Amino acid sequence: MQVSFTLRKDKITKSGLMPVRMLITSNGERIRKSVRNVKTLEKYWKNQRIKPNLKSEDYNFHVEYNKQLDDLENKVKLIFRYALLNDIEADKNYILQQLDNKNFGKNSIAPKFIDSFDEFIETNRSSKAEGTIKKYVSTINFIKDFQQYSNYDLSFNNIDLNFYEKFRDYAFNERNTLNNYFGRLIAGIKTFMNWAYERNYHENLEFKKFKTIHNTIEVIYLTMDELMALYNYKFDSKRLEHVRDFYCMGAFTGLRFSDLSQLKPSNIYPDEIRLSIQKTKSIGHVTPLNNFSKAILKKYAGTIYEPIPSISGQKFNKYIKECCKKVGIDTPVNTTRYIGQRRVDKVQPKHELITSHTAKKSFITNSLILGMKEMVVRNITGNIDEKSFKRYVEIAEDFKKQEMDNTWNKL
């Protein structure tokens, strides 16, 4: 489907004004429709729009007329989109009928919110990381649960502050949702609403007022002593040994779980790993190898597991906790989370908090403690925002102060 605008030179007035006509081309059929009350001199017509007049000339209403043309083109796109979503044949009669329908685009016939969210997910599958798509799916599933619980009328025009407050109360009071997860849900909704707005599915910008919530949480990582204890532990189970090696590979290189999972022998070089980073889309990223990561790769070279054994994320997070428990990584760790304004404090043995994400955190923190320059750490690990990285630096500085207190200050 294409929309274009032309001048009706055959309808020129005595003053030289020419009416504008819209031409819609779809499936080999052409639909012509005059644009009401829009006329211009030929000298102002350029790239299917009316260019501004000179200061010395009378005002030619280019702003008002161009807006009318833009609105008309957007309406045509919305009509075709609605027809596609609802299996309606968009023939000439249907298009002209809806163009004359002043109510088109209102709640009654606008694209459906849930259907459009599903389309949003499918559209992004080819360009977004798998983890991002999972977040989008979790968001729409949470919204569906909210709709079923509250009977809220979900439509584009109803995504407003009233929706936000009801959705927030449901998340905190009925689902005991942590603030940071609620913040991710709201971020997902805002991303979708922006996507839909750009496609002219709605004109509602109330969602821009939604506040995402984010509370700073503890950085969970393995200290060098804990990491080396895990690395050197002799497991009776090959399953746990493989999980341990995969985790340690992340903790020795700073690579994410998703990047380690796609690692191939062709990515391995004598002193480095070269691969495209899945999350940041960085091409040819170089990760230096140290003696520990080289030893793990050497262990599996020439085996069916080369370069390293892989495992699904869900099972991995379960098994790495089991590994750390066997090693004795059980230091009590205090964690604080918030559900709305309600504070939730927990004390857990450290092994219960170890997941695939803590491998990269362990690499960053231990590298800084061992004296690696901040710029080098950031370069190796890729995309870390300034605020997040500052927290790792502070942890490293605190560790150095503790070591000073435990050594020199005891003399």
Torsion, Cα 74 79 82 83, to 10 degrees, reads -150
Whether residue 375 sits in one domain with residue 236: yes
pTM metric for this prediction: 0.68
Rounded-to-integer distance, Cα 407 and Cα 182, Å: 44
At residue 281, the pLDDT reads: 66
Whether residue 194 sits in one domain with residue 69: no
Is 219 inside a domain boundary? no
Whether residue 261 sits in one domain with residue 198: no
H-helix or E-strand spanning residue 20: strand 17-26
Rounded-to-integer distance, Cα 142 and Cα 154, Å: 13
Whether residue 132 sits in one domain with residue 80: no
What Cα–Cα distance (Å) separates residue 288 from each residue in 245, 275, 299, 356, 380? 17, 12, 18, 20, 8
Whether residue 194 sits in one domain with residue 60: no
Rounded-to-integer distance, Cα 10 and Cα 192, Å: 45
Whether residue 136 sits in one domain with residue 84: no
At residue 90, the pLDDT reads: 85
Ranges 14-28, 75-89, 382-396, most confident:
14-28
With 0-12 / 13-18 / 19 or more C-beta atoms within 10 angstroms meaning exposed / middle / buried, residue 56 is: exposed
Whether residue 118 sits in one domain with residue 95: no
Whether residue 126 sits in one domain with residue 43: no
CATH label of the domain that carries residue 156: 1.10.150
Is 370 inside a domain boundary? yes
Q: Looking at the predicted structure, is the pLDDT value of residue 404 above 80?
A: no
Tell me the average pLDDT of the chain.
91
Domain that holds residue 143: 113-209
Q: What is the pLDDT of residues 139-187, one digit of tens each?
A: 999 999 999 999 887 888 889 999 999 999 999 999 999 999 999 999 9
Q: Looking at the predicted structure, is the pLDDT value of residue 16 above 90?
A: yes
Whether residue 159 sits in one domain with residue 288: no
Whether residue 393 sits in one domain with residue 326: yes
Q: What is the pLDDT of residues 39-84, one digit of tens each?
A: 999 999 999 999 999 999 999 999 999 999 998 998 888 888 878 7
Q: What is the pLDDT of residues 302-326, one digit of tens each?
A: 999 999 998 988 899 999 999 999 9
CATH label of the domain that carries residue 316: 1.10.443.10
Is 218 inside a domain boundary? no
Mean pLDDT of 109-127: 85
Please count the structural domains in the chain: 3
Is 105 inside a domain boundary? no
99, 133, 166: which is the final residue of a domain?
Answer: 99
At residue 233, the pLDDT reads: 98
Rounded-to-integer distance, Cα 118 and Cα 297, Å: 41
Is 16 inside a domain boundary? yes
Is 244 or 392 the better-scoring residue by pLDDT?
244
Ranges 106-120, 344-358, 381-395, most confident:
344-358
Q: Looking at the predicted structure, is the pLDDT value of residue 400 above 90?
A: no
Q: Looking at the predicted structure, is the pLDDT value of residue 107 above 50?
A: no
163, 178, 209: which is the final residue of a domain?
Answer: 209
At residue 402, the pLDDT reads: 79
Whether residue 120 sits in one domain with residue 44: no
Whether residue 194 sits in one domain with residue 248: no
